[in-house]
Amino acid sequence: MIKVSSIFIVWLMVLNMPLNHTKIEKSIVANKNSLIVEHNDIERIEPSNWWVGFKNSELQLLVKHPNITTAIPEIDYAGVSIKKVHKADSENYLFIDLNIDKTAKAGKFNIVFKFKNGNKKTQTYELKSRKIPAEDYVGFNSSDVIYLITPDRFSNGKPSNDIHENLLEKTIDRTNDYARHGGDIQGIINHLDYIESMGFTAIWSCPLLTNNMPSGSYHGYAMTDFYEIDPRFGTLEEYLELASKAKEKGMKLIIDQVANHCGLEHWWMKDLPFKDWVNYQENYEDNKDSWDKRATITSNHRRTSNQDIYSSKKDREEMSDGWFVSGMPDLNQRNPFMAKYIIQNSIWWIETASLGGIRQDTYPYSDKEFMGQWAGAIMEQYPNFSIVGEEWSYNPLIIGYWQKGANNRDGYKSNLKSPMDFAMQRQIVNGLNEWESWDTGLVKMYEGLANDFHYATPKDIMVFPDNHDMSRIFTQLKEDVVNTKVALGYILTLPRIPQIYYGTEILMNDSANPGDHGLIRTDFPGGWEGDAVNAFTGEGLNDTQKDMQGFVKKLLNYRKESKAIHEGKTIHFAPFMGTYLLFRIIDGETVAVIINKNDSPITIDLKRYDEIGLKGKTLKNIVTNETFVWGNEMMLNSKGISIFTTKAN
């Protein structure tokens, strides 16, 4: 009788709550045949939720609350048990190891924290059902072309979220290259039709998580909360909408993550859990009241120390442990709780947003053994997923070292599918900028591609003309429109995964101050109400910009259906008479790429390429739709690139 009355009274309380009440501290939650009262007494628990049905049954909760180390947690939920409780160095943290048995059902349950003084705090936790099987998380591959976006500079779809009073940086100033400009998630959603119509099949947005830094926070790489979308970019619901709508259009969403560092204003920097939570922590705590770059022990940026068999311990330590800059504390992945936190955070975002890939920032700066474990944990859970790691090296030996399947003499196993091809990017720029001679010009591109013998799987490497950290390709190529078109055409037909930075398709540049990051990340024209030029519609673009946009669009949309480009055999011929020919071949299709650097008309002998088997076949220009029959010779009237296919349609 008492039990029935208690439930009846609680239900009366719920029925009498106002319908618009949004902050309910306690509510009734149905859990199968039982009822629980939902509580939110604890300051912070991360991850904020988890799922049933993972291969790995372990979950570690970070619990943050005043004096939480004096509490003993208890859980009463079928299939969920506490394996171990770890006290941190700070009295305000607990780390709880849970086991989630395969019999556990989705639902909510309470974690009760009983303090020594007799007090009790309760936090409701939720295990969700997984949306799709792990095998259905299919990552990007060589059939994709990725559109890289700096969200603050792409489009302002929701001006109402431009300024957030609870965050440190409260201004919008489009005249300042290093201030926030107001671009957001809604801006990307609004222009998914443009991205799809251009022929892109995946979107990589620079980080969208909260960067509560006093200035320069627009780029997103100084995260102050690894589980929160920055409110100036939007909400978690809007991010999930972006992922869902992109998927509806056949596009994958790639998240940009940072395992190496956080922002100095991260909430845990006010109360670090352990004495070794960040690298050089003692130095920071001794100097934090007057912290600046002079007090910072920064990385030596000698990334080769990761592979160098002669490297000193000092160099290796300074490389991996040094802070990237004074405002970015270097995370210590050798701390097992930090390591697990980072891995779980990645899985949480994959599962929450049904992602199509991860781009991992500053890949070689983290502890390299941890990075192998991190990538391995993700790929074990999601066998068809994709991860690309940023290794800014122009040495193919180093790039290849980080790829899964590499035959590294030191035995290192990275588990990373896709390193980034900075080496090929540089060779393309050098090859097009240089005069033609025996060892300069197009031979740089030819020899750059010839280095593919070193890579475990060349087609899984990501290549690009430019990105958010380097000068625009149009600037790098001295504003030569023809050479820019050559670079893009070549990149989009290589055995690689191509990435194109927003605005490259309309010749955006940083020529006024080459290398300036704020200028590289210029606003995309048409992304703000009142813009005089609108690249989304073409209004206000000059003829040269329209031509380049059309060239990219035509090639990308052809590439979508070209198995020869996706996975075909590659044959190229050494540059000859200022020309360079490359072929992608698969049953039923041959794609021929002809690059010509001659300013005057030239006739080339096609018999030199007889082994390709094209004689007598009709080829169509992918961009112009013009056709010709491959014979004994061919007249090239102008400098540039021509891309042909044997497919009739």
Per-residue DSSP letter, 244:
H
- 366 to 254, 278, 320, 329, 373: CA distances (angstroms): 20, 12, 6, 12, 12
Reduced to 3 states (helix: H, G, I; strand: E, B; else coil), residue 240 is: helix
- For residues 263 and 191, the answer to whether their CB atoms sit within 8 Å is no
Which sign, positive or negative, has the C-alpha torsion 609, 612, 616, 617? negative
315: buried, middle or exposed (CB in 10 Å: 19+, 13-18, 0-12)? middle
Pairing of strands 44-46, 71-75: unpaired
Which sign, positive or negative, has the C-alpha torsion 166, 168, 171, 173? negative
d(C-alpha 207, C-alpha 583), whole Å: 37
- Is 567 annotated in the active site? no
Counting Cα atoms < 13 Å in the Cβ hemisphere of 418 gives 26
> What is the CA 615 to chain-centroid distance, rounded?
44
H-helix or E-strand spanning residue 59: strand 58-64
d(C-alpha 575, C-alpha 587), whole Å: 26
- For residues 109 and 76, the answer to whether their CB atoms sit within 8 Å is yes
- For residues 150 and 219, the answer to whether their CB atoms sit within 8 Å is yes
Choose, from 230, 390, 421, 452, the residue flagged as catalytic: 390
Closest CA to 181 of 146, 205, 157, 148: 157
Choose, from 361, 452, 505, 523, the residue flagged as catalytic: 361
Q: What is the C-alpha end-to-end distance of the chain, expressed in Å?
A: 78
- Is 390 annotated in the active site? yes
Active-site residue numbers? 361, 390
